[in-house]
Chains A and B, each alone.
Chain A
Amino acid sequence: MFLRYKFLIVMRAIWFIAQVSFFGLIVSRLVVFELKGIYFQYYVAGIIIMMLYSVSVFIGYDIFEEAEHGVFEYLLSLPVSRKELVLGRSIGGGIRSFIFVGPLIAIALAIVGVTQIMNLVIALSALFLFAFGASGMSITIAVALKSGDRFDILMGVLNALIIRLSTVMYPQVFIEDASNVYAGIANFNPVTFASDLFRWGVGIEQYLTMTPLLAILGIVAFFFVFTFVGVTVYERRLEGGGWK
């Protein structure tokens, strides 16, 4: 089954290597004094979250393929509740993302190094929930829109916003320096929660936006909101009149 996604995996791996080997290495030489020496590691940790997010939301594209093949009606007729169905899809999407991104996480850990194993285990556990939540969000949007083209465009815009207005590529203090509004949004961005938590997990504790506990709570909230919203959208949008 996973071989079906080999193109996605290969392309994402190339993208990751290019980001780290070219962009990361070069940009880390441009950064301000305070981040000199750690920005490359900071960036590599962030890029992993970007990867995890983008692979997790890929499940939305699967939804359109499934709709085209009529699999939706079949899934809705199975002896499982809507909650179980959405949860199953989100968790499935999240696990798949982790499997795909797993080797890249290993490379990132080799580059960044790990100081506290326990912190890393906690961070990775929370990142599972983040991946489930991102998959749930993608499913929710796909089902709500019921249009592959609109989904593609929206996800492109959302990707730009959610990544740029987060701490994936730059610390919160610099976002705040640019705009308080940007910083406010970044504070409630699930990608910020995930980036902070992963950096804490690998021992990059400078420039964290919030405590690890707050980041974990944010990720848990993200997961539950999109599971709940997903169930509601599934029921209203699909059961009301099918996919079309």
Chain B
Amino acid sequence: MSGDADLVAIIRTVDLTKRFEDVAAVDNLNLSIEDGEIFGLLGPNGAGKTTTVLMLSTVIKPTNGTAFVGDFDVRKNPNDVRKLIGICFQEPKLLWVSTPWDVLNWHAKVCGLATEERKRRVKQVLNDVNMWEARRKSVHGLSGGMRKRVEIAKVLIQRPKIAFVDEPTAQIDVIGKHKIWNMIRQLRDEGSTIILATNELYEADVLSDRVGIMHKGGLLVCDTPRTLKDSIPGGDIVEIHLEKEATDKVLEELKSLKEISDIAEINPKSLRVYLNNVEEVVPQIMKAFLKRNLPILSIKMSEPSLDDVFVHYTGLTIEEAQQKMIKGEADG
């Protein structure tokens, strides 16, 4: 998606900064999100994802810089910005006196849906998120997962031009996660731009057209998941088990391929090859072995995850970064 020159930025941040006293929660963020994409904002807790979402949705004001959502400046035209957006908050924000039906019906009403359309959509989405049976229960009595499903339902009913979904599948079971991912994709296919803030690497990977990785309030890197993974030198790993010992000649030929960054011999008949663009290079590797009559017994490929991308750019796993953040907060 990022390669399509016709796509236009629907969100653009310019040195967007939010400070809470001495702490910069978001620090000079410059980001561009294209119309109609699912943009994954990935990072550990405390990286600044939620603060960014809150600024883009005009809930809090930036300390410095600004952002343009649609054609509107979040500082100068917040009312216009809010007409374009819908949010699924990280922590479900339910009107605590009501039932799921009341919460969604009220939300749809405030978003301007006409009575008949509102009832139809509320019913449909409650069914979609498996909350129809529990629609008359008090929100007090709902489990964390059920509350989260009501929260995501707000955005699904609203179908905003720009949807912010903050940790949309936290506390939701695996089947529910896949269902919600499909609904988010469907929302994108119907014309919404989705900004997905998450610390779940797999979720960002499978769902996002592009990913921006945030760390300590800044944007580390931003591109498609594929490009980000390929940006790690030798990020792909191929383990090859041979019938015979590998010769020096074949190893030299492999090393001459520019995509291969390193070859480790596990034992004389097993090699571990670190490379990029695994799909394109594996046929060449196989050809090199077969040419020299070195039959391959098995071949195992693994590609880097977004966690590897995070490690590559920060030197920390996302869990380590999170731990550091918690420790930093505890130390004051």
Contacts and interface: CB of A to CB of B under 8 A. Distances in A.
Contacts of A76: 58-59
Interface of B: 20, 54, 57-61, 79, 82-83, 85, 87, 89, 91, 93-98, 110-112
B95 A77 contact: no
14 contacts: A1-B97, A1-B98, A4-B97, A70-B89, A76-B59, A77-B59, A78-B110, A79-B83, A79-B110, A80-B82, A239-B58, A241-B20, A241-B60, A242-B54
Interface in A40-81: 65-66, 69-71, 73-74, 76-81
Interface of A: 1, 4, 65-66, 69-71, 73-74, 76-81, 239-242
Contacts of B93: 69-71, 73-74
B95 A80 contact: no
Contacts of A74: 87, 89, 93
Contacts of A79: 82-83, 85, 110-112
Nearest to B82: A79
Main secondary structure of the interface of A (DSSP, over half): loop
Contacts of B82: 77-80
A77 B155 CA distance: 12
Given A69-B96, A70-B93, A77 B112 contact: no
A69 B151 CA distance: 13
A242 B60 contact: yes
Nearest to A4: B97
B82 to A, nearest CB: 5
Contact of B58 (A70, A77, A241): A77
Task: Report which residue of A70, A76, A79, A239 has the largest number of chain B beta carbons within 10 angstroms of its beta carbon.
Answer: A79
A239 B79 contact: no
B285 to A, nearest CB: 52
Which of A71, A74, A240 has the most B CB atoms < 10 Å from its CB? A74
A78 B158 CA distance: 11
Contacts of A242: 54, 59-60
Contacts of B97: 1, 4
A70 B96 CA distance: 10
Contacts of A70: 89, 91, 93
A77 B60 contact: no
A207 B191 CA distance: 67
List of 4 A-B pairs having minimum Cβ-Cβ separation, nearest first:
A74-B93, A76-B59, A79-B82, A69-B96
B20 A80 contact: no
A73 B111 CA distance: 16
B95 A73 contact: no
Contacts of A78: 82, 110-111
Contacts of A240: 60-61
A74 B155 CA distance: 12
A242 B50 CA distance: 12
A239 B38 CA distance: 27
